[in-house]
Chain A
Amino acid sequence: MRIGVFVCHCGSNIGGTVDVPGVAEVARAYPDVVFASDTMYACSEPGQAAIVDAIREHALDGVVVASCTPRMHEPTFRRTVERAGLNRYMFEMANIREHVSWIGKDREANSNKAAELVRMAVEKLRLNAPLYPKSFDVTKRVLVIGGGVAGIQAALDCADGGVEVVLVERESTIGGKMAKLDKTFPTVDCSSCILGPKMVDVAQHPNIRLYAHAEVESISGYVGNFTVNIRRKATYVDWDLCTGCGLCMEKCPSRKSPDAFNEHVGVTTAINIPFPQAIPKKAIIDPTACRQFVKGKCGVCAKMCPTGAIRYDMEDEIVVEDVGAIVTATGYDLFDHTRYAEYGGGRYPDVITSLQYERLLSASGPTGGHVRRPSDGREPKTVVFIQCVGSRDRSVDRPYCSGFCCMYTAKQAVLTKDHIPDSRSYVFYMDIRAPGKMYEEFTRRAMEEYGVQYVRGRVSMIVPQGDTYLVRGVDTLMGEQVEVPADLVVLAVGAESSRGAPQLAEKLRISYDNYGFFMESHCKLRPVETNTAGVYLAGSCQGPKDIPSSVAQGSAAASKVLGLFARGKLESDPQISQVDVRRCIGCGKCITTCPYGAIEWMELRGETKARVIETVCQGCGICTVTCPQGAIQLQHFTDNQILAEVNALCLS
């Protein structure tokens, strides 16, 4: 075998702490190495051209590039060697940047380690064999999980691109958090007026199939060919018959059900359509509140319904959908402010969350848009906003900034002045973070035009005083403690990952961070991709985001899906397991350990053997370490190749 080695300086990234020409020199003496050189930037155009030239000039059969992480440039160099006529798997990469130059400053030790890593790559390459991908068909349908604004945008863009969309929403209506907002910053335009048309588009688009009040039960398959089981939770109303007339709500005698859409400000009926613009505008029964379920008798809605749509005996139903790609847009949940006992821990009725306040401001909310205190219905004259409740606070394990609270607080303070002209608003803040377009200008307007009093400092406690509250905090600019008597306190609660996000991530086989937010493939360059092919992210499921960013990500994820589907067929990765039928004893251990169900039984001349389903195998290698016979080998990572690397490191 004739091997060429290229050792990259990566500018000073590697060259700064590794003797790059020295490593190339050492590599020249390795077995089968017929060419070795150093190169300033191996990934640059001249760098790649030099590799192609060397392959041709020295009739190389394989190439080792010692540079950065293969996650970044392995695909680049595989294409390079392919251009020169080699099989793309006759290439190995040694990571001497992340694993060497960036983590140590001792030049001699670094150079030795780099040379050893190159030697391992050479020894592995000597046992490499050409591999050839297979191509397979793609199901050109996409599953979008979550019907908030990010999911709506992704669904509409995919549908407009001619792709069939399956949109699954956990609640009984799409719209997500945005549907609960009264106005949006920095333009103070009506949230439901701009979201409503998009929601209607979802309902009317011929390419979108909407499953509301449904959840993803399980997912199997792989990019291009996922099979998804969707649990359609019982609504106890036949939605094919329900016209959304609302007569059931008018007559329902159970009027004290928890009102989740209104963030539990007030109560609602047990049979309910959450808001007038709901999509789908269908009623749903809350069995924990409905008298028919709780007491076993009532049946008023069934008697009243003009279309006879009520079905008390309805059960959950599982539907199966085949899709080729998945967009997760499961959004976020609000931090539970009751963890702050110093703010009352939920004991004070007029200390509310920002989203509850949003419902009080909204014309379709429980107070018809009149701001009233939950305790006594009185109009508040002094409103105190406290920012960073569950953001930037390590004591509650929420060290991150939720990003949008500064802006919505400014908006709510502005709206307070609009609703109650003789009111005063105070905002306790740590820093004002307003980096979006027109955002800083908006917060300045809140201060200067609307006279909102911004106090830089934290609030240490809220104390009830008669029927009002004393908000005690510090003004760090004045260097003084301040006490503000307040009629209403609004906590700018931060964002946390959506309930059930880690469980969904595990179904999708994608990663999530310490806080349950899904991990993107690369924090800068692959922001909507995941490390699982065919699964994309949109909106706040990846991290807290405001509406413009969520919409942008929805469109970005859709463009990734359309790009994937634009190819007629996909290539399967040939780095998968293969059974040597001569050594296989048919014990079936590999079948039980495979997490993907990629190994099946087959009959061979009257004997039972294991067989790998090539398109299902993900190349994880669990079967190869399970097999007692060493009969199942992962291509490109065979036992012999790994042993060759170990020997190169330990015996040389």
Chain B
Amino acid sequence: MNLAYYPGCSGLGTSREYERSTRAVCAALGVALTEIPDWSCCGSTPAHALDHTLSGALSARNLVGAARAGCEAVATPCPSCLSNLKTARHRMADDGFRAAVGRLLDEPADALATLPDVHSMLEMLVTRVGLDAIRAKVRRPLAGLRVAPYYGCIMTRPADVMRFDDPENPTSMDDLLTALGAEVVPYPYKVECCGASYGVARNDIVARLSGRLLGAARDAGAHAVVVACPLCQMNLDLRQPQVTWPGGHAMDMPVFYFTQLLGRALGVPESELGLEQLCVDPAIAFRRAEQALAAREAEKAAAVRSGKATTVRASAAAGQDGPDEAGRAEGGRA
């Protein structure tokens, strides 16, 4: 299948590490990406707030480009681009809208009726490549790493446009991270707002909303937050000194793009994953994961030493370690 790739503008700037790790991961998984020739803004700039036709035309221009390049589907890492591209395609079902966009683009309206479908990179990897295929290629499981998956507010909503995963309780990133050997903590704020839309105008709101997300991840025992959105990543990572942490100040919650952790697990060289561009030192998370693993090993050894009296408890602890054992075993096979 010929897959068009739409990097989006943040991929060239604030989220270069997302863009690089996405390409690296796709290469490692054998997913060929055809960058849309001469791609331009998706329209999620002020256009989408002021003029739906103009915003739709910006998106449609890129989708037409993908179709001309012979692609049946488009994938993009950025949820804002995803939302705008999908919404434009959704609105194209309306004859009047399609005609207006066609006039702006000098394209026949009929050509806009069958634009290629758009998917998030997460959806592409989870549904097209598949968790089994990914699991089989894991070379360095994320053993011991406890993560809070944060999907952001728009990747699954509105449900009738996005048509991916559960709109309120998505699980695809949970499943992916579990397949990589990480432990996913229960995280009820998966699709809550990080405050990005007020990023410039009302810093106090961002501080409160992002702070709540980080605090909840910490309270759930996560070593890191994992995201799929450049804006979320920037708010949660870059602004950690600014946010209002519930229960006291801290600045030690690494925030990864899911592609970075996927790349690490697949054995992609770290230089291709852009980990050095994260603000909060990612090593904090890996160190905590190692400590957690070591503590668990020690507990297990102690349980074995203390003999039969605690057999029951030991087996219970071993049961909890099940996913890790499985992850390691598979890593070994790969």
Q: Is the CB of A341 within 8 A of B189?
A: no
Q: How far does the Cβ of A485 sit from chain B's closest Cβ, in whole Å?
A: 14
Interface residue? B282 (CB, 8 A): no
Q: Is the CB of A342 within 8 A of B189?
A: no
Q: How far does the Cβ of B170 sit from chain A's closest Cβ, in whole Å?
A: 9
Could you say which residues of chain B place their CB within 8 Å of the CB of A464? 186, 188
Could you say which residues of chain B place their CB within 8 Å of the CB of A341? 166-169
Cα A270 to Cα B303 in complex, Å, equals 39
Cα A227 to Cα B216 in complex, Å, equals 63
Could you say which residues of chain B place their CB within 8 Å of the CB of A461? 168, 188, 192
Main secondary structure of the interface of A (DSSP, over half): mixed
Among A340, A341, A342, A347, chain B packs the most CB atoms within 10 A around the CB of: A341
Q: Is the CB of A345 within 8 A of B188?
A: no
Interface residue? A463 (CB, 8 A): yes
Closest chain B residue, CB of each to CB of A340:
B168
Render B144-178 as a binary contact track against A, CB cut-off 8 A, 1 for contact. Answer: 00000000000000000000001111000000000
Q: Is the CB of B189 within 8 A of A345?
A: no
Cα A461 to Cα B169 in complex, Å, equals 11
Q: How far does the Cβ of B151 sit from chain A's closest Cβ, in whole Å?
A: 12
Q: How many residues of B contact A (CB 8 A)?
A: 9
Render A336-348 as a binary contact track against B, CB cut-off 8 A, 1 for contact. Answer: 0000111001010
Could you say which residues of chain B place their CB within 8 Å of the CB of A347? 169
Could you say which residues of chain B place their CB within 8 Å of the CB of A340? 168
Could you say which residues of chain B place their CB within 8 Å of the CB of A345? 166, 168-169
Closest chain B residue, CB of each to CB of A469:
B188
Q: How far does the Cβ of B233 sit from chain A's closest Cβ, in whole Å?
A: 22
Could you say which residues of chain A place their CB within 8 Å of the CB of B166? 341, 345
Q: How far does the Cβ of B10 sit from chain A's closest Cβ, in whole Å?
A: 28
Interface residues of A in 423-459 (CB under 8 A from B): none
Cα A347 to Cα B169 in complex, Å, equals 11
Cα A464 to Cα B186 in complex, Å, equals 10
Cα A340 to Cα B186 in complex, Å, equals 17
Render A461-473 as a binary contact track against B, CB cut-off 8 A, 1 for contact. Answer: 1011000000000
Could you say which residues of chain B place their CB within 8 Å of the CB of A463? 188-189, 216
Could you say which residues of chain B place their CB within 8 Å of the CB of A342? 168-169
Cα A345 to Cα B166 in complex, Å, equals 11
Render B170-212 as a binary contact track against A, CB cut-off 8 A, 1 for contact. Answer: 0000000000000000101100100000000000000000000
Q: How far does the Cβ of B143 sit from chain A's closest Cβ, in whole Å?
A: 26
Cα A463 to Cα B192 in complex, Å, equals 11
Q: How far does the Cβ of B192 sit from chain A's closest Cβ, in whole Å?
A: 8
Q: How far does the Cβ of B217 sit from chain A's closest Cβ, in whole Å?
A: 13
Cα A342 to Cα B186 in complex, Å, equals 14
Could you say which residues of chain A place their CB within 8 Å of the CB of B186? 464
Q: How far does the Cβ of B119 sit from chain A's closest Cβ, in whole Å?
A: 21
Closest chain A residue, CB of each to CB of B220:
A464
Q: How far does the Cβ of A632 sit from chain B's closest Cβ, in whole Å?
A: 48
Cα A295 to Cα B214 in complex, Å, equals 50
Could you say which residues of chain A place their CB within 8 Å of the CB of B189? 463
Cα A347 to Cα B171 in complex, Å, equals 13
Interface residues of B in 69-91 (CB under 8 A from A): none
Q: How far does the Cβ of B279 sit from chain A's closest Cβ, in whole Å?
A: 27
Q: Which residues in A have some Cβ–Cβ distance to B below 8 Å?
A: 340-342, 345, 347, 461, 463-464
Q: Which residues in B have some Cβ–Cβ distance to A below 8 Å?
A: 166-169, 186, 188-189, 192, 216
Other contacts beyond A341-B166, A345-B169, A464-B186: 8, CB < 8 A: A341-B167, A341-B168, A342-B168, A345-B166, A345-B168, A347-B169, A463-B216, A464-B188
Please, could you name 13 A-B residue pairs with CB atoms under 8 Å apart, sorted by A? Answer: A340-B168, A341-B168, A341-B169, A342-B168, A345-B166, A345-B168, A345-B169, A461-B168, A461-B188, A461-B192, A463-B188, A463-B189, A463-B216
What are the 3 A-B residue pairs with the smallest beta carbon separation, nearest first? A341-B168, A341-B169, A463-B188
